[in-house]
Amino acid sequence: MTLSKETQEEITNRVNGHSKANNTNTATPYPSPPNSPPQSEPSCSKSRGETEDKRRPSGTTTSLPVTPPTSLNQHPPKSTLKDQKPVENRKRLDASALKRDLGLRAGKCGGLTRADAPCKSSVRSRNKDQIDSQIDSMTTLTQSSPELDTELDKLVMLVHCHWHNCNNPKWTRIKDWKAKFPIGDGKPVESVEKRIKRALGQVSAKCAGTTAQREPCQRRIGGQKVQNCTKTIDEILQPEVYLDDTYLEALLKVLQANMYCHLHVGNRPPEKVASWKSDILEIRKQADVELVQSIESDTTEGVESQTRDPISKDPRSLSTKTSNDPTSRNRSFQTRGNSRSLSSDFTRDPATFWPAAYDTTPFEIVSRIDKLADYKSSYKLVQNIMKRPLDDVDQKDGYVYMYEVEGNKGFVKIGYTGRSIEIRHEEWTFDCNRKTKPLYPIKPNSVMLVPHARRIEALCHAELNHHNIEMYCRGCLKNHLEWFKISPEEAISVIEKWTKWMKTRPYQPTQLRSGEKWSLTETERHRSLNIDQFMKEISVYEGNFTSH
């Protein structure tokens, strides 16, 4: 049908006036390297993957397009169909009942393991109050509430352990939780940007390739490729990109090129890009239909009803095609924030579209212990760890190390390894895309094996618990748990103190019917009963320990 002049003007004004949806990153499976080996490996743990990024160019080059057409630059649609919050009379739910329905009363992680069983790891004590507060803030939400997904994402990051706060365990839990909320009075109109993001799928730290046995590849692609995928999706979600067919296809190739490890980067299936593009074109088409229907609904009175193709010849329709104007293809496309401006040379491998660079952004802190002045608050934890018998891993010698990363001075990571410290640094750098700066051992030539290295690490973590932070990493898409906001000098003193104590051989083997067991000696067990006095004694013994 042919709409009246007033309706056509309304369509033009509505399209040009849309506000662009925010490009917020979900805590998805998109940044901490694996923590030091756990005392018993969870059933859902994954293989670490390669220690170095050995990516190889595929040898296939593509001619990437240049800037969007002049018409889009002159009339850039600031958004498409934005999220429309339905008008509904929200009834407040009972917070306690909601917590029960979400399965959170047991205080356990609950994320699905590889065996499809709920994880029984306890929720971190620091998060319990935040969980209750988060649930209370969600008691007026329904499945129709546009903000529900965001709030559920916040909740799952507080509840799940670091093994389950990304990828399938996270998204499966959010989907299950969403079904527990009332349906609501209306269905919100989802933005084009959100639909496209869902069509592209979640970014993963694992390779998208398959092995010769047709099994999913378990190698990690590295933090730089993970962040490249995130940046590429952010670019694709810009209207001036997804409305330009040629440029859209080029960036889809860039996205695909960053999803593979060095062994599979040359085996990218071409149908994947075609499938993505087809889905996005269909989303654009449907958005055109919904936009026209929305405007027609608003202007029903006084507008004659005549048939009209919703994807019309209106030059500002969502289905606007790219311009063939050669002059428009010689300009740089100005991108936002840390995005990359395009140059005139596009005859290169899409895998090289983003320049190599380490992440130097500030940490995204999830939670922290707010007891910096109360150093004795950690003593009980120290006492409990001391009393714990040594298992097979604790009995082994190893290395304790510490480092910081650029852009986050004042934060240190303390860990241990039974392998080379240099290899461990390479793994952290590759997984998180952050260049490590070694702080301990102080001198490279002073590296030496220490007894019961993992127990030393655990005691250091316990004593510094009141300095502990938990932060989300956008390189390996996990939470770091072993970082501390503290000066390197104080952290080094703590490491050296516990190392010297461990060298006194405070644990001895005891022969039991069930076998040999390494336990705290009777002398040290008796000393640890008065933990305040014990901590003073070993601090004096250490000699150069810096007091709190």
Q: What is the pLDDT of residue 307?
A: 45
Confidence grade of residue 80 (pLDDT, cut at 50, 70, 90): very low
Rounded distance between C-alpha atoms, residue 540 and residue 220, angstroms: 45
Q: What is the pLDDT of residue 474?
A: 93
Furthest-apart CA pair in the chain: how many Å?
95
Beta bridge partners of 468: 484
Model confidence pLDDT, tens digit, residues 330-347 = 333 444 444 444 443 456
Task: Tell whether the model's pLDDT for residue 544 goes beyond 60.
Answer: no
Confidence grade of residue 516 (pLDDT, cut at 50, 70, 90): confident
Residue 414's H or E segment, with its range, is strand 411-417
Confidence grade of residue 546 (pLDDT, cut at 50, 70, 90): very low
C-alpha distance from residue 242 to each of 15, 96, 267, 289 (Å):
15, 44, 25, 17
Of the candidates 90, 281, 290, which has an alpha carbon nearest to the alpha carbon of residue 189? 290
- The mean per-residue pLDDT over the stretch 246-265 comes to 92
Model confidence pLDDT, tens digit, residues 151-206 = 998 898 888 887 787 777 888 898 899 889 988 776 666 789 989 998 999 899 99
Rounded distance between C-alpha atoms, residue 74 and residue 301, angstroms: 32
Mean pLDDT (the chain) is: 77
- The mean per-residue pLDDT over the stretch 302-331 comes to 42
Q: What is the pLDDT of residue 129?
A: 85
Residue 175's H or E segment, with its range, is helix 167-178
**SS3 label, residue 21:** coil
Q: What is the pLDDT of residue 343?
A: 43
Q: What is the pLDDT of residue 373?
A: 67
- The mean per-residue pLDDT over the stretch 35-54 comes to 40
Those residues whose C-beta lies under 8 Å from the C-beta of residue 384, and which sit 6 or more positions away, are 462
Lowest mean pLDDT among 11-25, 89-103, 122-136, 162-176: 11-25
Those residues whose C-beta lies under 8 Å from the C-beta of residue 199, and which sit 6 or more positions away, are 276, 279, 280, 283
Helices (H), 299-378: none
- The mean per-residue pLDDT over the stretch 248-255 comes to 94
More confident residue, 153 or 431: 431
More confident residue, 435 or 300: 435
Of the candidates 368, 361, 338, which has an alpha carbon nearest to the alpha carbon of residue 434? 361
> Rg for the chain (alpha carbons), in Å?
28
Q: What is the pLDDT of residue 269?
A: 80
Q: Judge whether 480 and 518 are in contact, CB under 8 Å.
A: no
Q: What is the pLDDT of residue 475?
A: 95
Of the candidates 432, 438, 536, which has an alpha carbon nearest to the alpha carbon of residue 492? 438
Model confidence pLDDT, tens digit, residues 347-381 = 678 989 999 999 999 999 988 876 666 778 899 99
Q: Judge whether 157 and 134 are in contact, CB under 8 Å.
A: no
Percent pLDDT > 70 in the chain is 70
Q: Residue 170 — φ and ψ, nearest 5°?
A: -70, -50
Rounded distance between C-alpha atoms, residue 372 and residue 353, angstroms: 44
Q: Judge whether 457 and 411 are in contact, CB under 8 Å.
A: no
Rounded distance between C-alpha atoms, residue 199 and residue 278, angstroms: 10
**SS3 label, residue 390:** strand
Q: What is the pLDDT of residue 512?
A: 67
Lowest mean pLDDT among 53-62, 286-295, 314-323, 539-548: 53-62
- The mean per-residue pLDDT over the stretch 391-408 comes to 95
Paired sense of beta strands 411-417 and 347-348, if any: unpaired
Q: Judge whether 314 and 11 are in contact, CB under 8 Å.
A: yes
Task: Tell whether the model's pLDDT for residue 6 goes beyond 90.
Answer: no
Q: What is the pLDDT of residue 82?
A: 46
Q: What is the pLDDT of residue 312?
A: 40
At position 83, the amino acid (one-letter code) is: D
Rounded distance between C-alpha atoms, residue 32 and residue 363, angstroms: 11
Q: What is the pLDDT of residue 318?
A: 54
Tell me the pTM. Answer: 0.69
Rounded distance between C-alpha atoms, residue 397 and residue 418, angstroms: 7
- The mean per-residue pLDDT over the stretch 54-70 comes to 40
What one-character-per-residue DSSP string does 216-243 give? BP--B--HHHHHHHHHHHHHHTSHHHHT
What's the N-to-C CA distance of the chain in angstroms? 78
Q: What is the pLDDT of residue 367?
A: 81
- Residues 327, 331, 334, 338: what is their CA dihedral angle, to the nearest 10 degrees? 150
Sheet holding 364-368, edge to edge: 364-368, 468-473, 478-485, 411-417, 399-405, 436-440
Rounded distance between C-alpha atoms, residue 493 and residue 166, angstroms: 35
Those residues whose C-beta lies under 8 Å from the C-beta of residue 272, and which sit 6 or more positions away, are 256
Percent pLDDT > 90 in the chain is 45
C-alpha distance from residue 403 to each of 361, 435, 442, 470 (Å):
16, 10, 10, 16
Residue 497, burial from CB neighbour count under 10 angstroms (0-12, 13-18, 19+): buried
Rounded distance between C-alpha atoms, residue 259 and residue 213, angstroms: 19
Sign of the alpha-carbon dihedral angle for 495, 497, 500, 504: negative
HSE, side-chain direction, 13 A CA sphere, residue 232: 30
Q: What is the pLDDT of residue 358?
A: 97
Rounded distance between C-alpha atoms, residue 188 and residue 349, angstroms: 40
Task: Tell whether the model's pLDDT for residue 219 goes beyond 90.
Answer: yes
Q: What is the pLDDT of residue 321?
A: 42
C-alpha distance from residue 474 to each of 3, 226, 420 (Å):
48, 8, 26
- The mean per-residue pLDDT over the stretch 484-512 comes to 93
